[in-house]
Amino acid sequence: MVENVADTPQAPVEDNRLNPMFVDDVVAALEAGDIERVRLLADPLHPADVADLMEQVEAVDRAALAAALGDKLDADAFAEMNDYVRDDLIDALEPQQVGDLVQQLDTDDAVAIIEDLDADDQREVLRSLPADDRAAIEEALSYPEESAGRVMQRELIAVPEHWTIGQVIDFLRENPDLATDFWEIFVVDTGHHPVGTMRLSWVLRTPRKVAVADVMQREQTLIPVDMDQEEVALRFQKYALISAAVTDATGRLVGVITVDDILHIIQEEAGEDILKLSGAGDGDVNEPVFETVKVRVRWLMVNLGTAILASLVIGLFAATIEQMVALAILMPIVASLGGNAGTQTMAVAVRALATNELTESNTSRQIGKEIKVALMNGAVIAIIVGLVAGLYFANAHLGWVIAVAMVGNILVAGLAGVLVPLTLDRFDIDPAVASSVFVTMTTDVMGFFLFLGLAAATGLTPAG
């Protein structure tokens, strides 16, 4: 019978999530000290679900759960775990125990665990490893963080061009030490430079006597070892790659990146933008409270600065407001809608920059489009706001002032929404990090200035 890990009724896992009642059961067994039952419950779980279980229980229960799970909490489960939760658990282990876990993993997963340790622990864990594992991991750690060199595995299959398919198959069958899970076979020259690649399905469909050179595809996408992981992910996605060869500065084949690592990166990077835009840092639910406070308060301070700037603009018109309090009542509408319109444009621009859809070739077209959209949306909103405000306060002059200010601010918003991210990108600043602050600062300041300034300049009075 097929065992479907996710769809059996009352399964511990439903819709890719651990069933909350299942988690409660485990916690109850844990609190009752019933280790047997914890193990029985956890037995059918996939390593990814063991990792989830560890994340779902309260922090105080994690050490006890880890002890109860024993071998079920294996290296694969550690590899799947949230960074914060994993670091907590790893901190409680001896370097020798960490070394044992790490040895069971591919280099990329091992590096992911070791790179987060502090320098002393890192040295001790590395010392506990066999020489060749240690060398591989030390080499990986020598590459910049978030580069291809950190993500790649060294375990790969490479064969010479002059072999036949039969020789390849025999080589694979006769060498038990080779990797068991791979998706492509790389063809290399005598200097270990990649010259081609074969998908396994091609190897399987080809008669034994055919030469490798006749099956392999010569064009292939190579990943330089120092390429940023975000670029690697875009390349995988664009060319629909399952795995890709990684080469060093001299063009030698040094590793392979497989798509399962890329899935994590794409989701992380795409999800990061939303968190960065809001100034929420990593935005990890498992982040300790104090870390979260530190990250967020920094952006709140920046926001405080821009809010004070906007207040100073209002202060310029204190006399006008004193004369006519309706202006104070209405001014947040102009700022708020400008902010919203700017955020819409900015979100589109930030995404388009991240996915390489907004480029030098189409920038001016995009700016032209945003001007058109802003004028149309501005007109619609201005007519409504102008009518509502004019009628409510029985003051046609006020209606005109707010309508004109609204069109102006939505136009400012459209321009800021596209120009701010573009400018940051040109200066190699991540547009997702800083755009939001600049855009809403611009729309707040300009919103108050246009509305109050126009009121003052046209001599608006409560009588209209």
Binding mask 167-186 for a copy of itself (x = CB under 8 A): --x--xx----xxxxxx---
Count of Cβ atoms closer than 10 Å to residue 59 Cβ: 12
Instruction: State the Cα–Cα distance between residues 167 and 187, nearest whole angstrom.
Output: 13
Q: Taking CB under 8 A as the rule, does residue 28 contact a copy of itself?
A: no
Exposure class string for 227-256: b at 16+ Cβ within 10 A, else e: bebbebbbbbeeeebebbbbbeeeeebbbb
Of residues 58 and 120, the one with the C-beta less far from a copy of itself: 58
Q: Which residues inside 94-133 make contact with a copy of itself, applying CB under 8 A?
A: none
Q: Which residues inside 57-96 make contact with a copy of itself, applying CB under 8 A?
A: 57-58, 80, 82
Q: Which residues inside 235-274 make contact with a copy of itself, applying CB under 8 A?
A: 235-242, 251, 259-260, 262-264, 266-267, 270-271, 273-274
Q: Taking CB under 8 A as the rule, does residue 280 contact a copy of itself?
A: yes
128 φ/ψ angles, rounded to the nearest 5 degrees: -80, -5
Binding mask 344-383 for a copy of itself (x = CB under 8 A): xxxxx-xxx-xxxxxxxxx--xx--x--xx--xx--xx--
Contacting range for a copy of itself; rule: CB under 8 A; set: 67-75, 133-141, 148-156, 187-195 = 187-195
Tokens of 30: 């844990």
Instruction: State the Cα–Cα distance between residues 246 and 156, nearest whole angstrom.
Output: 11
Of residues 117 and 335, the one with the C-beta less far from a copy of itself: 335
Instruction: State the Cα–Cα distance between residues 326 and 393, nearest whole angstrom.
Output: 8
Contacting range for a copy of itself; rule: CB under 8 A; set: 34-42, 132-140, 142-150, 191-199 = 191-199
Q: Taking CB under 8 A as the rule, does residue 336 contact a copy of itself?
A: yes
Q: Is 434 helix (H, G, I), strand (E, B) or coil?
A: helix
What strands lie across the sheet with 184-188, from one edge to the other? 158-160, 184-188, 194-199
Q: Tokens 């994340």 belong to which residue?
A: 55
Q: What is the separation of C-alpha 322 from the centre of its chain, rounded to a whole number of angstroms?
A: 48
Q: Taking CB under 8 A as the rule, does residue 226 contact a copy of itself?
A: no
Q: Taking CB under 8 A as the rule, does residue 337 contact a copy of itself?
A: yes
Nearest distance, CB of residue 127 and a copy of itself, angstroms = 30
Q: Which of 34, 35, 37, 55 binds a copy of itself (CB under 8 A)?
A: 55
Tokens of 94: 């001896």
Instruction: State the Cα–Cα distance between residues 218 and 197, nearest whole angstrom.
Output: 7
Of residues 82 and 211, the one with the C-beta less far from a copy of itself: 82
Q: Is 239 helix (H, G, I), strand (E, B) or coil?
A: coil
Count of Cβ atoms closer than 10 Å to residue 18 Cβ: 19
Q: Which of 301, 391, 394, 429 binds a copy of itself (CB under 8 A)?
A: 301
Instruction: State the Cα–Cα distance between residues 357 and 365, nearest whole angstrom.
Output: 12
Q: Which residues inside 419-438 make contact with a copy of itself, applying CB under 8 A?
A: none
Please count the residues of this chain forming the interface with a copy of itself, following the rule CB under 8 A.
Answer: 146
Tokens of 229: 């992981």
Nearest distance, CB of residue 83 and a copy of itself, angstroms = 12
Q: Taking CB under 8 A as the rule, does residue 328 contact a copy of itself?
A: yes
